Amino acid sequence: MKLMLIEGKGKEMANILKIRAHHLLCIQGFQGYGYSEDFVKNMSEIIKSMDSNPEVKIITECDIICSCCPHNVEGVCQKGPDSAQEVRNMDTRILEKLHIKDGMIGRVKDVLSLINTELRNVSDIQDICGGCAWKERCLWFISRDK
Ligand code: SF4
């Protein structure tokens, strides 16, 4: 699949959402569950805003979804003692599977299409989503081919 992704450096950043890689999976399976009321409200608004933000910058650090998470302490995920590194590893594994670099920018629809082509089966994402507490409630995870 050909994807029009470009390096982020130097590109006009207005209207470009910065999203950490694994959240691009989460947003596709979100059905209103989350860590707090604020988290759910924020995530719902971000997903809606993607209609008017056609491009996304893919990152591997706390993002606008983390910004309303009770586990985000000063920009670092502290869900568990090793979460900052574990979540970053999860993001990095996704980038490797998609053959893209940290900080790349792409059209939301192209990025989601790439994800859904490359990560089609449960076996493709076992090392990413396998330990996720939300996977049974994630419509995207549930929809992967067995
Ligand atoms: S648990 Fe960690 S990675 Fe997930 S939204 Fe919260 S701060 Fe971000």
- Residues 77-130: pLDDT tens digits? 999 999 999 999 999 999 999 999 999 999 999 999 999 999 999 999 999 999
**Positive or negative torsion for Cα 18, 124, 121, 106:** positive
Q: Are 16 and 53 in contact (CB under 8 A)?
A: yes
Q: Is 94 in the pocket of ligand 1 (CB under 6 A)?
A: no
Q: Is 66 in the pocket of ligand 1 (CB under 6 A)?
A: yes
* Spacing, Cα 72 to ligand 1 middle (Å): 6
Task: List pLDDT tens digits, range 8-54.
Answer: 555 556 678 999 999 999 999 999 999 999 999 999 999 999 888 78
Domain ranges for the chain, please list them. Answer: 16-143
